[in-house]
Chain A
């Protein structure tokens, strides 16, 4: 790889990652914040490629860009009456900023000052095969625990998010009323204008 190309890739990907993360901080709309998060995650996936960790880069795109961002968008869409605004809490921002600046100084100092004894050997080849083999040989116990954790998280998320039958019936009834567009629904409850039913569209 030519040196100039590598420099260009690193600096542009770094700018993309940090810029996306900063825009999350600045953005006032939560949906925009999630889109900026996607940009930042794509930048990190590109940085994994510059570190020749191809397998991790693909996993990053699949899980973060594909799954987690969509999950977050769903959570935002399912909480319509909660504020979409992504603003900061003014009271806690100042002490939080102070703590963060101290952490930043400490981590930067450690990162720059330490002699890491960095060597640049040949990158791993056949990473997917090596990671898979070590997962089921050397790391078999964490692998099993991870499987149990993912199952527990799946069941737990469904159990938490599931509505009671009574709630579900009330919700379905109010949704029906909204779809009909009659005046029986309290206007305060309706966030979006009621959708026209199929009959109205046709006529």
Chain B
């Protein structure tokens, strides 16, 4: 059996689903951010797989996209963790279940 595009796509889908479940179910805000990071990495893996197995035109542009996604993910995690710190300072918790200030 040859390791082909489908192997990487299935792996990416599996990783995306694990990250999705972590992001939906974790109580801690940092745990939710870890899940989001896993989802972004799964998408990156899929894009790089298409870069290797796609035609020559997409080989470069997918890798450039991956660079952009990594940059945006870094910005997202920095702001997300700063937000977690502010919530902790005001509420003494970063549990997403207990930050219910906007609940009616």
Chain A interface residues toward B at CB < 8 A: 6-7, 10, 14, 17-18, 21-22, 24-25, 30, 33-34, 37, 40-41, 44, 47-48, 50-53, 55-56, 59-60, 63-64, 67-68, 71-72, 74-76, 78-79, 81-83, 85-89, 92-93, 96-97, 99-101, 103-104, 107-108, 111-112, 116, 118-121, 123-124, 127, 130-131, 134-135, 139, 142, 146, 149-150, 152-154, 156-158, 160-161, 163, 167
Decide: B54 and A119 in contact? CB cutoff 8 A: yes
- In the assembled complex, which residues on chain A have CB atoms less than 8 Å from the CB atom of B102? none
> Given A47-B48, A160-B85, 8 other A-B contacts at CB below 8 A?
A24-B35, A41-B41, A71-B77, A83-B95, A85-B28, A112-B10, A119-B55, A134-B64
Chain B interface residues toward A at CB < 8 A: 3-22, 24-28, 30-31, 33-35, 37-38, 41, 44-45, 48-49, 51-56, 59-61, 63-64, 66-68, 70-79, 81-86, 88-89, 92-95, 97
Q: Looking at A64, A75, A149, which has the most chain B CB atoms within 10 Å of its CB?
A: A75
Tell me, in angstroms, the Cα distance from A76 to B7 when the chains sit together: 35
Contacts A25-B21, A64-B41 given; does A86 touch B28 at CB 8 Å:
yes
Tell me, in angstroms, the Cα distance from A160 to B88 when the chains sit together: 12
Decide: A10 and B27 in contact? CB cutoff 8 A: no
Contacts A30-B28, A82-B93, A119-B53 given; does A75 touch B72 at CB 8 Å:
no
Decide: B72 and A88 in contact? CB cutoff 8 A: no
Q: Of the candidates A10, A40, A81, A142, which one forms a contact with B68 in the assembled complex, judged by CB atoms under 8 Å apart?
A: A142
Grouping DSSP codes into helix (H, G, I), strand (E, B) and loop, the A interface class, with mixed when no group exceeds half, is helix
Tell me, in angstroms, the Cα distance from A112 to B34 when the chains sit together: 27
